[in-house]
Structure 1
Amino acid sequence: MSASADRPFRSVLYMPATNTRALAKAATLASDAVIVDLEDAVAPDEKAAARKNLKGWFETRAAKPAATIIRINAPSTEWGADDLVLARSLEPDGILLPKVDTPRDILEAGDALDDEAVPETVKLWAMIETPKAMLNLGAIAELGRDPGSRLAGLVAGTNDLAKDTGVLMTPDRRYLLPWLMQIVLAARAGGLVALDGVMNEFRDLDAFGRECAEGAAMGFDGKTLIHPAQIEPANKAFSPSQTDVAEARAIVDAFARPENAGKGVISLDGRMVERLHLAQAERLLGRATWA
């Protein structure tokens, strides 16, 4: 889990801003976050209605999900400016920027929030879904080290990456794996949350579970979803197992013993354990409290 995350992002569900029934149920779902979408899930002739609907939902909802993120249209589009004006006025937990190509895209959005004195609790998230974003990934992620940038996380846009590159989307995602691993690596370098891309075949929960397990093994913090049925498998895959928790607890307890005070390396059950393993164990136990 990214060092920057003070809450879980195991399951992050996309919801079209036009779907009033889905939004009404958002607070009852077990997803760690929802992304209310003004972009891909909304047809061009519905953009204005989607903004109106989103505003009404924020004003009337009795409760909110654990985290609410708004995905706007790219600022370069005819809808992007109006989307950003609305999003910053609603003060969600985050604003997801699509089609990010360079650090400048994030910095300009951050400036727009700062100009209106939007609270620093409103974070920015970046969709990594273009070839140019992949080439600039290091510089984009480096913004995570600057609190003034507001950047909190990277979201893999696998569908757009495949479309723009011509990469074949296979069930095992073999041609996407190098890029997915780069996103995780960049997120870790920048202290950011890393979210895996969506799986389009939402009815095949067995395959989805395997893809979640793969994403967790790669180091992602969670996965973006397109259907509520995917929430439970995602939460399970990105939560520590009982075995992992027991091992982490053993490491913490071992370093807490008086005879190990101040030691950098100890022996535990026949293996060498360093203080870096202690730090990992403490992070894992912190994640276990979210499960």
Structure 2
Amino acid sequence: MSNENMIVRSRLVIPINVNKFVQKANKRNADVIVLDLEDSIPYEEKEHARTLIPDAVQTISSLITPIYIRVNSEEDFLYKDIEKSVREGVSGIVVPKVESGHEIEKIDQWITELEKKANLAVGQFKISVLIETAKGFLDVADILKASKRIDTVSIGMEDLASDLGIILNQQTVASLNYFRLKLITVARAYHVIPLGLMGSLANYTDLDSYRKYAREAFELGFRGSSCIHPSQVEILNKSFKYNEEEINQARKIVNVFNNALAQGRASASYDGKMIDYPHYKKYQQIIDEYERVEKYERLKGNEGRC
């Protein structure tokens, strides 16, 4: 599956050392499950947390829902985390605080060695990039072109704001859209899926604001977001998807243009506006994306009933 066809609306991050969360992971309906070895794990527990990967993966194992491992960025932990993560049942890793393409190249090479050692298909294991520093943001283009394994990229906005010395409030939050727009632009240029939210991941109790931020992110060009609480999953699944009104309009416009083509014309009028090939392509893409999501939801539903 190409990156563009992946469905990553909701990526639920779960502390790997909280067994009750791991046990319930498959009931949350997230598009992706991320087992966390990083921020949610105390420093003194990190070595032990790594040993929990095999059992956690076996517990969550699904034919439909990919499992990723969020590894630690410090080299004392990073390569040991990766070594334990490259295994059957794990689709990839989330790498935080990436700052250069060279880092990704080294990680890619290490993964290749591990795939060969484990008799896994070389190149299938993915890397999801998390940008959390000014240096990483400046080098985001070099980072994304450093490996074909990279499937998604996102910004750790709280960490980035801290690194930049920005205090997050109503006055400063709009300025962060600069970083969001650039990330989307670079991601699209290198065929990587941009993930993000217009607000913060932290306040999981304000679901109305969360829903608003998620929908705005979708309209801006993001195609999903990480979340830290099960209550956020369905909001993301619905927000990062075209609604019935949008898909009905797209189908009407495509039909109008197809009728024009059948009459030997490459332009048409819809609702008082001209429709030509760029519009047709845009709305056909909307339909294709919608149908991929619908098919994916049916597959998840069928798996749940098995």
User: Do the structures match in fold with TM over 0.5?
Assistant: yes
Q: 2:182 aligns to what?
A: 182
Aligned position for 2:75: 77
Deviation at 1:269, TM superposition (A): 2.8
Q: Structure 1 residues 273, 127: CA separation in 2 closer, same or farther (over 3 Å shift)?
A: same
SS in 1 for 2:62: coil
Tell me which residue corresponds to 1:210. Answer: 212
- CA distance in 2: counterparts of 1:126 and 1:142, whole angstroms: 12
Identity within the alignment, %? 25
Equivalent residue number for residue 121 of structure 1: 124
Aligned residues: 284
TM-aligned CA deviation for residue 171 of structure 1: 4.9
Q: Pick closer, same or farther for the CA change 1:65–1:164 going to 2, 3 Å.
A: farther
- The match for 1:131 is 134
Residue identity matched to 2:127: L
Residue 270 of structure 2 corresponds to which residue in structure 1?
268
Counterpart for residue 21 of structure 1: 20
The amino acid of 2:254's aligned partner reads V
The one of 93, 102, 105 equivalent to 1:104 is 102
Post-superposition offset of 1:264: 4.1
CA offset digits 1:138-183 (Å, max 9, x no partner): 222334xxxx631111011112101111112125721321111111
Q: Tell me the CA shift for residue 238 of structure 1.
A: 0.9
SS at match of 2:145: helix
Q: Taking structure 1 as reference, are residues 24 and 262 closer, same or farther at Cα in structure 2, changes over 3 Å only? A: farther
- Distance, in Å, in 1 between the alignment partners of 2:282 and 2:276 is 10
RMSD of aligned Cα (Å): 2.1
Deviations 1:25-64 (A, max 9, x none): 1111121112111111111111122112222122344536
* Range with bigger deviation, 128-137 or 259-268: 259-268
C-alpha distance in 2 between matches for 1:93 and 1:275: 37
Partners of 1:263 and 1:111 in 2: CA distance: 52
Partners in 1 of 2:59 and 2:142 — Cα distance?
39
Letter in 1 for 2:167: L
- How far off its partner does 1:20 sit? 1.3
Structure 2 counterpart SS, 1:212 = helix
Residues 183-215 of structure 1: CA deviation (Å, up to 9, x unaligned): 111111111111115521100101111111221
Consecutive unaligned residues of structure 2, counting only runs of 5 or more, are: 295-306
C-alpha spacing 1:258/1:276, structure 2 compared with 1 (3 Å): closer
Q: Give the deviation of 1:287 after TM superposition.
A: 2.6
Q: Is the 8 A contact 1:129 1:161 kept in 2?
A: yes
Q: Which residue of 2 aligns with 1:40?
A: 39
Q: Could you say which residue in structure 2 is the equivalent of 1:225?
A: 227
Q: How does 1:1-16 map to 2 (within 5 A)?
A: 4-16=3-15
Q: Shift of residue 216 of structure 1?
A: 1.4
Unaligned runs of 5+ in 1: none
SS at match of 1:191: coil
Give yes or no for contact 2:7–2:31 (8 Å, CA) kept in 1.
Answer: yes
CA distance in 1, matches of 2:36, 2:95: 11
Amino acid of the structure 2 residue aligned with 1:88: V
What TM-score do the two structures reach when normalised by structure 2? 0.85
For 2:271 and 2:16, the matched residues in 1 are separated by: 53
Contact 2:257 2:280 in 1 (8 A): yes
Asked if residue 158 in structure 1 is aligned to residue 160 in structure 2, the reply is: no
Aligned residue type for 1:189? A
Letter in 1 for 2:67: T
- C-alpha separation between the residues in 2 aligned to 1:208 and 1:82? 35
Q: Is the 8 A contact 2:194 2:224 kept in 1?
A: yes
**Whole-Å separation in 2 of the counterparts to 1:149 and 1:188:** 14
Describe the shift of the 1:95–1:216 C-alpha distance in structure 2 as closer, same or farther (beyond 3 A).
same
Matched residues in 2 for 1:136 and 1:121: separation? 25
SS for the counterpart of 2:22 is: helix
